[in-house]
């Protein structure tokens, strides 16, 4: 999961690097504010998309983790024991040339035993460990989203500080393109949902549809943010 990547970098498309200029004239301020708000909103769409994608990934990882627990339940602890035995057997060989072979072997075997106990604990608490990892994953997603929202707010503010006027035709085209993009994503999702009715595993199919729809909306937000860059004048 690449959940730590700065969201605003995807949609800024050069906006943050515009530099510092005088505040926009009063006649153009409202237009600048409006478009810069859209820039921030587009950034927010991407941030929300990353949040949804992160949460979905956390759930999928947990389900996969628990499936592995179930599949390995019968062999997990025996594997721990056999690996521990192999570890102990290797201690004598590895410590043979040590100045104090007895102490070396005792330390080595203690390490083998510690590893064995940790291995068995992981087997016994496999499901619980999956749940704990998933909880940490969700918390990380939440923290990353908060950081991304702040970045989007900064992006919108920087845009307002540097904007002097807006190419209205250019900005209008961006809005039209965004609406068309959203509509296309929704239509594709609806079509895929209908196809899921005949799928062997409808639940899995629907999950994939929602995942793909989220990705499509993120792409719309990214494209919209990049589209506004040439529409914003700074001198």
pLDDT along the chain (235 residues), means of 10: 39 39 46 94 96 95 97 97 97 94 96 98 97 98 97 96 93 95 96 92 92 95 96 88
Distance in angstroms (rounded) separating the CA atoms of residues 155 and 44: 10
Extract the tokens encoding 41: 């909103």
Helix (H, G, I), strand (E, B) or coil at 233: strand
Other CB atoms within 10 Å distance of the CB of residue 6: 11
Distance in angstroms (rounded) separating the CA atoms of residues 31 and 164: 9
Distance in angstroms (rounded) separating the CA atoms of residues 141 and 133: 12
Distance in angstroms (rounded) separating the CA atoms of residues 154 and 15: 11
Q: What is the residue extent of each domain of the chain? A: 25-233
pLDDT for position 199: 87
Contact at 8 Å (CB) between 144 and 50? yes
* Burial (Cβ within 10 Å: 0-12, 13-18, ≥19) of residue 191: exposed
- The DSSP annotation for 1-13 comes to --TTS-THHHHHT
Angle at 93 between CA 92 and CA 94, to 5 degrees: 95
Per-residue model confidence as pLDDT tens digits over 116-136: 999 999 999 999 999 999 999
201 Rama sector, left if φ>0, alpha if ψ -120 to 50, beta otherwise: beta
pLDDT for position 28: 59
Instruction: Collect all residues with Cβ–Cβ distance below 8 Å to 24 and sequence separation of at least 6.
Output: 32, 160, 163, 164, 165
Residue closest to 54 by CA, chosen among 205, 179, 215: 215
Whole-model pTM: value is 0.76
pLDDT for position 7: 38
């Amino acid at each position: 999961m690449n959940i730590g990547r700065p969201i605003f970098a995807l949609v800024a498309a050069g906006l943050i690097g515009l530099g510092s200029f005088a505040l926009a004239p009063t006649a153009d301020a409202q237009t600048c504010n409006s478009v810069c708000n859209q820039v921030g909103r587009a950034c927010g769409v991407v941030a929300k998309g990353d949040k949804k994608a992160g949460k979905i990934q956390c759930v999928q990882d947990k389900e996969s983790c628990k499936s592995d627990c179930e599949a390995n339940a019968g062999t997990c602890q025996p594997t721990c024991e056999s690996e521990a035995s192999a570890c102990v057997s290797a201690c004598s060989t590895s410590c043979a040339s040590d100045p104090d072979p007895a102490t070396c072997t005792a330390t080595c075997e203690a390490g083998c035993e510690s590893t064995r106990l940790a291995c068995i604990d992981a087997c016994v608490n496999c499901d619980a460990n999956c749940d704990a990892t998933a909880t940490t994953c969700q918390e990380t997603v939440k923290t990353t989203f908060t950081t991304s929202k702040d970045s989007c707010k900064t992006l919108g503010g920087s845009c307002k500080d540097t904007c002097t006027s807006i190419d209205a035709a250019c900005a209008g085209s961006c809005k039209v393109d965004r609406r068309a993009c959203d509509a296309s994503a929704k239509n594709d999702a609806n079509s895929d949902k209908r196809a899921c009715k005949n799928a062997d595993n409808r639940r899995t199919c629907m999950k994939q549809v929602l995942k793909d729809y989220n990705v499509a909306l993120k792409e719309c937000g990214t494209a919209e943010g990049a589209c506004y860059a040439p529409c914003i004048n700074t001198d």
